[in-house]
Amino acid sequence: MAQVTADVEAVRGRLMPERAGQHGKVLLAGKVVNSEFAERVRSLSGVDPRECYQCGKCSSGCPMTPEMDLIPSQVIRLLQLGQEQDVLGCKTIWLCASCFQCYSRCPKGIDFSRLAEALRMLAMAGKVEYLAPEDVPEEVLTEVPQQALVSAFRKYGL
Amino acid sequence: MKLAYYPGCTVRDKAVHLDETTKASARELGIDLQELENWTCCGATYPLTEEKIANLVPQIRILRNVREGGNSQVTTTCAFCYSTLKRANRAIAVDDLRRQRVNAFLRDDDPVRPYKEQTQAPADYEGEVAVLHLLEVFRDGFGWDRLAKATKKPLNGLKVAPYYGCKLLRPPKEVAFDDPENPTIFEQFLAALGCEVIDFPFKSECCGSYLALSAPESASRLSHLILTSAVKSGAEVLALSCPLCYYNMDLRQRDISKSYPGFQHVPVMFFTQLLALALGLDEKVLGLDLHYVDVRPLLRQKNLLQ
Amino acid sequence: MKRIGVFVCHCGHNIAGVVDVKRLAAELAKHPGVAFATDYIYMCSEPGQALVREKIKELNLDGVVVAACSPTLHELTFRTAGRMAGLNPYQVEIANIREQCSWVHTDGAQATAKALKIARSTIEKVRYNQSLEPVMVPITQRALVIGGGIAGIQAALDIADAGYEVVLVEREPSIGGHMIQLSETFPTLDCSQCILTPKMVAVAQHPNIRLLTYSEVEDISGYIGNFKVKIRRKAAYVDWDVCTGCGVCVEKCPKKVPSEFERFLGMRKAIYTPFPQAVPNKPVIDRVNCTYFLKGTCKACEKFCEVKAIRWEQEDQYLEESVGAVVVATGYDTYPIANLGEYVGGKIMDVIDGLAFERLLSASGPTAGQIRRPSDGTVPKEVVFVQCAGSRDPELHKAYCSKICCMYTTKHAMLYKHAVPDGQPYVFYIDMRTNGKGYEEFYQRAIDEDGVIFLRGKVAKIFQDGDKVMVWGADTLTGRKVEIAADMVVLATAIVPSAGTEELVKRIKIGCSDGGFLLEAHPKLRPVESMTAGFFLAGCAQAPKDIPEAVAQASGAASKVIGVFSQEAMAHEPTIAFVDEDLCSGCHMCIPVCPYEAREFDKEKGIAIVKEALCEGCGACVAACPSGATQQRNLTDAQIEEMITVSLME
Amino acid sequence: MFEPKIICFLCKWCTYAGADLAGTSRMKYAPNGVNIRFLCSSRVDPQHVLWAFKSGADGVFLGGCHPGDCHYQEGNYKTLRRVALMKKMLRQMGIEDGRLRLEWISAAEGKKFAQTMDEFTEQIRALGPLQLEL
């Protein structure tokens, strides 16, 4: 898998240090599946991931899957199972460019980019920014269009 | 034909050639673009969480100012501005809670509008302004035939691949710009200018967008995919409407060349540059010196430029 | 004065838990006309029914009210009990104090008061009920079958074999439906044509079947036992009575057009039979494409026809048939690829649908059974099968599962592998649904013996890349995106009701369910009956189904038709309209109101009469009658007024 | 509290079956209505409605099949037209037309039946007892 940037791994560690690549078994219980976290994701995103029947069409068409550690349908699956640490600690939510390709094709009308945005907010809440202005090299700052700066800091900043 | 024009931040700095060619072409075509006074940033990306209602304030303030300025339509060329304005406009129209909250916020907002002194806040904004992309203005208002007739220097023989990107087409239910899978508006525009239109399979794939900052290699991969596919399909130049796509397609070719040895540069142009060219406007307006990948040799080769 | 017996049921706690049944019985005993009232724990049980029977005989009751559950459940039970005790069944009525009282109210006093009103109102009805006998209506023992696919063929043969006449109407020039297009059938891989053509021939030769192909049902009026059917025979421009089916005209016709039967992968002539084994084996001229009709010259077919069967001036003919029952077997179409934008909506030649692939597999198909892709005729070595193309997609396409695609796609992949041993088939699926006899074994065989790769994920994008068809899918089992450079893609497009189903449903007034399929009377217990008496359903017109299911349903529908025909006359509910001839002024108000043409003006008497066999008892004419001359048996205005009055008594 | 007296004329195929479904689903609703089963809502004659009001009803409810679903093809359309006329007639007689209500309730709409009964009871309660000057 292509390395995105060195910083992504570092920042991920900053955000969810306790997770750091665990792939243990999924422990299920009613209170896990129906957790406050699951409800928070639903209310924040306005999307109910429980409606997904896991056809995988989102992942099939997503332009960013090569860099993702979990494909979008897996993030939704883990959300259905209430696996907070996995979904908050994955790279995928930071790699969604909200191009809406998945949403425009989803047979259930699920907007994954909304879920990713909600998860980013929850991951950053009270913690650190994923992308701070000082993380961006000077020459990049002068080159990129304004809209990219505003968008990126809206998606990745506090 | 008169309508409000919302330029957006990027076209005033990194993409002045988009702005200049838009204004010059509109003048040439007799379209009265009235630039919105005291416009502010549109917010760039549409807020995707239920709680970020305040993030709708900038767009609604802009749209309310369009109305207060006496216009019922506003046009823009930047795909991001178009997407945020159009989606916010729809949200305000269909969502009572958002409409009430945003208007409540804006009621205390003292509109800085020197052309119209007011003691009272304007009436609530309820989504009454139509947000149009410039391509829609041509399709639904101006007409392709009229555009083709106005073309003084048809771009015959120029093989152009239209690149839509993401924001113009999706989410289809909210932007309702064209068929999300097989759009045709850009093709019709280019055909009206006399171009040979090149269809290619990645015309609506994502360019990597703002991942340009956080995951530039992903953006390079995607831009490379799109550019090579267009060239393979026979394109000589890529036409687009979004300044961020432009950045990811043009300047990024510097990085693509490093990551993908053997990659050949492909020129990229804003659709309005092609328009200005076809209308026979002065080369100075086109801003052809602003491209990373120089498009001038191609245009000269095609006898479209002195 | 009537002598009415009232029987209050406890239904265990269901009624007695809320309603004071003892008090109810005691109060009702005081009601005028009530000779006897009692309560019992389960009135519908055998001892309960025995109690009703005994009391009728013992007390010489001439009316019975059972205060119990909804009449839809036990009206028949107690009317039968009444009849066994010598009472006319129409003297027995049910007061619904369970579904519409004890189950929906909590306050005992209020519920008891309401139950009292319901029971009193029912007693008032019985007080004025007449003893009635069912109206006997003669039955036309002749059936109409609409649609000549496998379901229609099976239904027609079953009914005809039972000795009844059948009119089989098919809109295409030949019967056979989609099944005759198929190559081999799952899970036994028997040749579709081999098993179907004998049945098609049997239809053509059956003395009891009148086969009308190239014909459409325009209208059906009447009611069960007595339908009038209007049929349009489309002009074939060939006199089929004269035509010998020699085929010279087809051979000589210079005009070639893409063949619908071959899913546009092969050609046919402008005068054609859809396929060589067509039944009847008589050609039709496709007026839209015929050179003579387009340009006024040619007539090659006419020149070479030895028996002079070509009829340029032929017009559509209208026929009328009388039948007693109808089987609707109008079949399916496949969801158009043009609607699938993400798969480029049919613009890539080598992206075809399952039926087209059947034609490629078929020994009688355009490639004689060789797998060759449409674009350049080469043998595709990498073939991707995409399931749920338009199915299971409530947001953009069809919400339902098309049911047969898992199995036919497995079969396609398997047959492809048999035809192209060095090729690789891939199947993208969401869930494999292999529930049928021998189906799961078939699926496993495709994996075990034929090396079919099944990928769990829905394809998002298909595009042309040079001479390859690129497929972007996912394998959700590994969590990876999948890209395949395929030579050909086969889409398992959704099954949709055949074109024109909606219009037919409106014309013949049978219901439709979601997705436009025909609505069955009960999803579990009455799966072959429609909501309208006399109409039966078979095959994919009702829901997507495979061949054995379609055949089973067709035989079920046929047996229902045979059941209707097993008697010469049908008992008709006698609670219909009647006229007080002295009151009727002959104003005609009732006549246009009747949906069944059961009201008619009798010129001799100068009054409007009721044709009892046609009256369904809706009561619309009764309400329309300004003088009150028309009344409904056992629901007269006088009865209704009494019922209202007691319902409002405290 | 005023307890309105309501007469309900229900078509056997749809609304009566919907009322049965409310029962089998054990939904609870106001007990003010007493149901009278007709084969079709088109059997309801304006004189039945008037008779009910005359005999002490505070409200009259008519339930039929949804448009297009009538078992007798289009009886419910006839009812619809008659109800419009009846409402006019009631107003002329000084009876609020809100005392007469027509609803399409299918055999599958037990919940709608229960809700409609509650709503209609409240509607009549708000109108108060019918004062008829006969």
> pLDDT digit string (tens) for C521-534?
888 888 999 978 89
> pLDDT digit string (tens) for C50-71?
999 999 999 999 999 999 999 9
Q: Do the Cβ atoms of B106 and B125 come closer than 8 Å?
A: yes
Asked whether the beta carbons of residue C618 and residue D69 sit closer than 8 angstroms, the reply is no
| pLDDT for residue A23 | 59
Which residues from C are below 8 Å from B when comparing CB atoms? 341-342, 344-345, 347, 461, 463-466, 470
Instruction: Tell me the pLDDT band of B50, cut-offs 50, 70 and 90.
Output: confident
Q: Do the Cβ atoms of B226 and B248 come closer than 8 Å?
A: no
Q: Do the Cβ atoms of D63 and D14 come closer than 8 Å?
A: yes
User: How many Å apart are CA D63 and CA D38, to the nearest integer?
Assistant: 10
| pLDDT for residue C317 | 97
Strand partners, C535: C326
Does D41 reach chain C within 8 Å, measured CB to CB?
no
* Residue C449: CB atoms within 10 Å: 10
Token reading at C432: 């494999």
- pLDDT > 80? residue A88: yes
* Residue B114: CB atoms within 10 Å: 8
Helices B79-94, B57-68: inter-axial angle, 10-degree rounding: 90
Asked whether the beta carbons of residue A59 and residue C397 sit closer than 8 angstroms, the reply is no
Judging contacts by C-beta atoms under 8 Å, the chain B residues touching residue A98 are 45, 48, 166, 209
Which residues from A are below 8 Å from C when comparing CB atoms? 53-62, 65-66, 70-71, 73-74, 101-102, 105-109
Q: Which residue has the higher pLDDT, C163 or A158?
A: C163
Report the residue from C110, C620, C648 with minimal CB separation from D75. Answer: C620
Token pair 């806040």: residue = B121
SS3 C533: coil
Pairing relationship of beta strands C569-572 and C577-579 according to DSSP bridges: unpaired
User: How many Å apart are CA C606 and CA B26, to the nearest integer?
Assistant: 81
The maximal CA–CA distance of chain A, rounded, in angstroms, is 51
Q: How far is CA C268 from the centre of its chain?
A: 33
User: How many Å apart are CA C643 and CA D52, to the nearest integer?
Assistant: 10
Q: Do the Cβ atoms of A151 and B242 come closer than 8 Å?
A: no
Interface with chain C: mutation pick from A52, A55, A95, A102, highest number of C CBs within 10 Å: A55
Instruction: Tell me the pLDDT band of D125, cut-offs 50, 70 and 90.
Output: very high
| pLDDT for residue C117 | 97
Q: Do the Cβ atoms of C3 and C63 come closer than 8 Å?
A: yes
Q: Give partners of B (≥3 CB pairs < 8 A).
A: A, C
Interface with chain B: mutation pick from C464, C468, C481, highest number of B CBs within 10 Å: C464
Strand partners, C238: C310
Does A124 reach chain B within 8 Å, measured CB to CB?
no
What whole-number percentage of chain B has pLDDT above 90? 86
| pLDDT for residue A21 | 44
> pLDDT digit string (tens) for B217-257?
999 999 999 999 999 999 999 999 999 999 999 999 999 99
Q: Do the Cβ atoms of C50 and C138 come closer than 8 Å?
A: no
Alpha helices of C297-393 — where are they, by DSSP H?
300-304, 354-361
- pLDDT > 90? residue D134: no
- pLDDT > 70? residue B111: no
Token reading at C225: 């036992």
* Residue C466: CB atoms within 10 Å: 9
Q: Which residue has the higher pLDDT, B112 or C510?
A: C510
Does B45 reach chain A within 8 Å, measured CB to CB?
yes
Shortest CA distance from A70: residue in chain C:
C479
3-class secondary structure for B244-291? HHHHHHCCCHHHHHHHCCCCCCCCEEEHHHHHHHHCCCCHHHHCHHHC
Residue type, C563: G
- pLDDT > 50? residue A2: no
- pLDDT > 60? residue A16: no
Mean pLDDT (chain C) is: 95
- pLDDT > 70? residue D124: yes
Handedness of CA A103, A109, A114, A119 (dihedral sign): negative
Pairing relationship of beta strands B130-133 and B73-76 according to DSSP bridges: parallel
pTM assigned to the model: 0.82
Q: Name which of B253, B234, B261 is nearest B291 in CA terms.
A: B253
**Residues across chain C:** 650
- pLDDT > 80? residue A157: no
| CB contact set of C436 (below 8 Å; sequence gap of 6+) | C187, C407, C546, C548
Asked whether the beta carbons of residue B181 and residue C342 sit closer than 8 angstroms, the reply is yes
Judging contacts by C-beta atoms under 8 Å, the chain A residues touching residue B47 are 154
> pLDDT digit string (tens) for B168-197?
999 999 998 999 999 999 999 999 999 999
Q: Name which of C529, C571, C574 is nearest C139 in CA terms.
A: C571
Strand partners, C256: C269
> pLDDT digit string (tens) for C420-454?
999 999 999 999 999 999 999 999 999 999 999 99
Residue type, B184: T
| pLDDT for residue A149 | 82
User: How many Å apart are CA D34 and CA C118, to the nearest integer?
Assistant: 7
- pLDDT > 60? residue A19: no
> pLDDT digit string (tens) for A100-120?
999 999 999 999 999 999 999
Q: Do the Cβ atoms of B259 and B230 come closer than 8 Å?
A: no
Q: Give partners of D (≥3 CB pairs < 8 A).
A: C
Asked whether the beta carbons of residue B181 and residue C464 sit closer than 8 angstroms, the reply is no
To which H or E segment does residue C591 belong? helix C590-593
Q: Do the Cβ atoms of B31 and B85 come closer than 8 Å?
A: no
List the strands of the sheet with D33-38, edge to edge. D33-38, D6-11, D59-64, D100-104
Asked whether the beta carbons of residue A117 and residue B78 sit closer than 8 angstroms, the reply is no
Asked whether the beta carbons of residue A5 and residue B221 sit closer than 8 angstroms, the reply is no
Instruction: Tell me the pLDDT band of B119, cut-offs 50, 70 and 90.
Output: low
Task: Count residue pairs from B and C with Cβ separation < 8 A.
Answer: 19
Asked whether the beta carbons of residue B181 and residue C341 sit closer than 8 angstroms, the reply is yes
To which H or E segment does residue A86 belong? helix A84-89
Instruction: Tell me the pLDDT band of C232, cut-offs 50, 70 and 90.
Output: very high
Q: What DSSP assignment string belongs to C442-500?
A: HHHHHHHTT-PEEEES---EEEEETTEEEEEEEETTTTEEEEEEESEEEEEEPEEEPTT
| C-alpha dist (Å) from residue C453 to B32, C413, C417, C447 | 60, 9, 11, 7
| C-alpha dist (Å) from residue A140 to A102, B11, B294 | 29, 18, 21
SS3 B306: coil
SS3 D10: strand
Strand ranges inside B90-217, DSSP E = 130-133, 159-162, 196-197
List the strands of the sheet with C317-323, edge to edge. C215-223, C226-233, C317-323
Q: Do the Cβ atoms of D120 and D101 come closer than 8 Å?
A: yes
Chains A and C touch (3+ CB pairs under 8 A): yes
User: How many Å apart are CA C327 and CA C156, to the nearest integer?
Assistant: 9
The DSSP 8-state label assigned to residue A63 in this structure reads T
Token pair 């038709």: residue = C561
* Residue C269: CB atoms within 10 Å: 23
SS3 A134: helix
Judging contacts by C-beta atoms under 8 Å, the chain C residues touching residue B232 are 465-466
| C-alpha dist (Å) from residue D102 to D42, D64, D99, D117 | 12, 8, 10, 12
Within 52-71 of A, beta carbons closer than 8 Å to B belong to 63-64, 66-67
Q: Give partners of C (≥3 CB pairs < 8 A).
A: A, B, D
Q: Name which of C539, C165, C548 is nearest C329 in CA terms.
A: C539
Shortest distance, CA B200 to any CA of chain A (angstroms): 16
Shortest distance, CA C465 to any CA of chain B (angstroms): 8
Judging contacts by C-beta atoms under 8 Å, the chain D residues touching residue C105 are 28-29, 31
The terminus-to-terminus CA distance of chain B in angstroms comes to: 32
Cis preceding linkage at C280, omega within 30: yes
Token pair 């106005």: residue = B150
What are all long-range contacts of A10-17, with beta carbons under 8 Å and residues at least 24 apart?
A: A11/A128, A11/A130, A11/A131, A11/A135, A12/A89, A12/A91, A12/A94, A14/A127, A14/A128, A15/A88, A15/A89, A15/A123, A15/A124, A15/A127, A15/A128, A15/A130, A16/A85, A16/A88, A16/A89, A16/A123
Judging contacts by C-beta atoms under 8 Å, the chain D residues touching residue C513 are none
User: What's the average model confidence in pLDDT over C91-120?
Assistant: 97
Asked whether the beta carbons of residue B181 and residue C463 sit closer than 8 angstroms, the reply is no
